[in-house]
């Protein structure tokens, strides 16, 4: 659906191992949009793995000025869907690389996920954010914020911890990534291309600009 009140559309994908919480994070973010229906209290949901790729969207007013539509792609973490999900990487401008702070393997696989995207990347830059999810599970945590921060720094991206369960840092994670994409666009590191769906110009009116903001802190702020 077009969004004539938005200046740009940014395509963002969530990648990471199966069951790290990508769908839950995304649904929490979309449910938190202004005007979205109040979520009903629900019993703990059964885990239903994503099949292939599912699509969501949310509009966002960036502090830097423009209003953007985020087209959000929730990808299946399971290996058997990899040939489907891989075909989507080339057309994204932003990626949330998600691991579960209670699952070391999911953290160790982050470099593989990053490599997957880099291997299929076109001429345009992709902006990444490393996300340590399920930060509510402090007693069973096996990955520290410090080692995740070190990994993020070595891969040239920011790091943040989130919890869909406690609604902690969920908006902040998506908004930080969208902000970073906007900055890269403004600085010319990302360019609009006819044959690339990562960023689309929707509304040609003058796009507002404003000074840049500081990088957010990594650990959970809740
Ligand atoms: N404690 C806790 N559990 C969570 C959180 N987010 C998700 N979960 C649980 O983790 C399990 C997997 O969540 P999903 O969102 O389906 O995971 P996914 O990464 O989308 O899985 P795939 O679709 O298979 O790739 C479910 O049982 C969720 O209830 C969280 O913030 N805290």
Q: Report which of 106, 216, 120 is spatially closest to residue 161, judged by C-alpha positions.
A: 216
- Whether residue 1 lies inside any domain: the answer is no
More confident residue, 219 or 157: 157
Residue 174, exposed/middle/buried by CB under 10 A (0-12, 13-18, 19+)? buried
Q: Would you state the pLDDT for residue 53? A: 80
CA 204 / ligand 1 centre spacing (Å): 39
Ligand 1 close to Cβ of residue 77 (< 6 A): yes
Asked if pLDDT for residue 204 goes beyond 80, the answer is no
Q: What percent of the chain has pLDDT over 90?
A: 56
**What CATH number is given to the structural domain containing 189?**
3.40.50.300
Q: Would you state the pLDDT for residue 155? A: 96
Structure tokens at 7: 């200046």
Q: Would you state the pLDDT for residue 54? A: 85
Structure tokens at 34: 């202004």
SS (H, E, C) 176-195: HHHHHHHHHHHHCCCCCCCC
Mean pLDDT of 147-158: 97
- Phi/psi class of residue 135: alpha, beta or left (left: φ > 0; alpha: ψ in -120 to 50)? alpha
Q: Are 29 and 35 in contact (CB under 8 A)?
A: no
Mean pLDDT of 72-84: 83
- Chain centre to alpha carbon of residue 56: 12
Mean pLDDT of 31-40: 68
User: Mutation test of ligand 1: which of 24, 31, 85, 101 has the most ligand atoms closer than 8 Å to its C-beta?
Assistant: 24
- Whether residue 145 lies inside any domain: the answer is no
What angle, rounded to 10 degrees, do the helices at 110-120 and 145-155 form? 20
Rg (CA), the chain: 17
Backbone dihedral angles phi then psi of residue 163, each to the nearest 5 degrees: -140, 120
Q: What is the number of structural domains in the chain?
A: 1
- Whether residue 162 lies inside any domain: the answer is yes
Q: What is the pTM of this model?
A: 0.89
C-alpha distance across the termini of the chain, in Å: 34
Q: Report which of 110, 193, 91 is spatially closest to residue 150, judged by C-alpha positions.
A: 110
Structure tokens at 164: 């869909």
Q: Would you state the pLDDT for residue 170? A: 96
More confident residue, 193 or 94: 94
Ligand 1 close to Cβ of residue 103 (< 6 A): no
Mean pLDDT of 69-80: 88
User: Mutation test of ligand 1: which of 14, 17, 19, 166 has the most ligand atoms closer than 8 Å to its C-beta?
Assistant: 19
Question: Ligand 1 atom 8: the closest Cα is on which residue?
Answer: 21
pLDDT tens, 153-176? 999 999 999 999 999 999 999 999
Q: Would you state the pLDDT for residue 70? A: 96
- Whether residue 146 lies inside any domain: the answer is no
CA 90 / ligand 1 centre spacing (Å): 25
Q: Are 27 and 16 in contact (CB under 8 A)?
A: no
Q: Would you state the pLDDT for residue 75? A: 85
Strands 8-15 and 67-75: parallel
Q: Would you state the pLDDT for residue 217? A: 55
* Domain range for 174: 8-37+45-136+154-201
pLDDT band at 37 (very low <50, low <70, confident <90, very high): low
Ligand 1 close to Cβ of residue 85 (< 6 A): no
- Whether residue 172 lies inside any domain: the answer is yes
CA 30 / ligand 1 centre spacing (Å): 15
Ligand 1 close to Cβ of residue 76 (< 6 A): yes
Q: Would you state the pLDDT for residue 65? A: 79
Asked if pLDDT for residue 13 goes beyond 80, the answer is yes
Question: Chain-wide mean pLDDT for the chain?
Answer: 86
More confident residue, 16 or 2: 16
Asked if pLDDT for residue 212 goes beyond 60, the answer is no
- Whether residue 218 lies inside any domain: the answer is no
Checking ipTM against 0.95, whether it exceeds it is: yes
Ligand 1 close to Cβ of residue 55 (< 6 A): no
CA–CA dist 155, 134 (Å, integer) = 22
Please state which of the ranges 76-85, 100-109, 125-134, 183-192 shows the lowest mean pLDDT: 76-85
CA–CA dist 204, 215 (Å, integer) = 29
């Amino acid at each position: 659906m077009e969004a004539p009140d938005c200046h740009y559309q940014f395509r963002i994908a969530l990648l990471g191992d199966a069951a790290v919480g990508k769908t839950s994070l995304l649904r929490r973010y979309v449910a938190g949009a202004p005007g979205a229906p109040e979520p009903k209290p629900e019993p703990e949901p059964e885990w239903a793995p994503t099949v292939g790729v599912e699509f969501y969207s949310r509009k966002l007013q960036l502090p830097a000025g423009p209003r953007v539509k985020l087209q959000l792609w929730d990808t299946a973490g399971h290996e058997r869907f990899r040939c489907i999900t891989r075909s989507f990487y080339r057309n994204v401008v932003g990626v949330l690389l998600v691991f579960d702070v209670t699952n070391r393997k999911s953290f160790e696989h982050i470099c593989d996920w990053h490599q997957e995207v880099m291997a299929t990347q076109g001429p345009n830059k992709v902006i990444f954010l490393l996300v340590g999810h399920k930060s509510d599970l402090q007693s069973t945590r096996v990955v520290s914020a410090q080692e995740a921060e070190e990994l993020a720094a070595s891969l040239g991206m920011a790091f943040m911890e989130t919890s869909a369960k406690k609604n902690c840092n969920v908006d902040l994670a998506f908004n930080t990534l969208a902000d970073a994409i906007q900055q890269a666009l403004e600085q010319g590191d990302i360019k609009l291309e006819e044959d690339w769906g990562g960023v689309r110009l929707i509304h040609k009116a003058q796009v507002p600009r404003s000074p840049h903001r500081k990088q957010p802190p990594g650990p959970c702020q809740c």
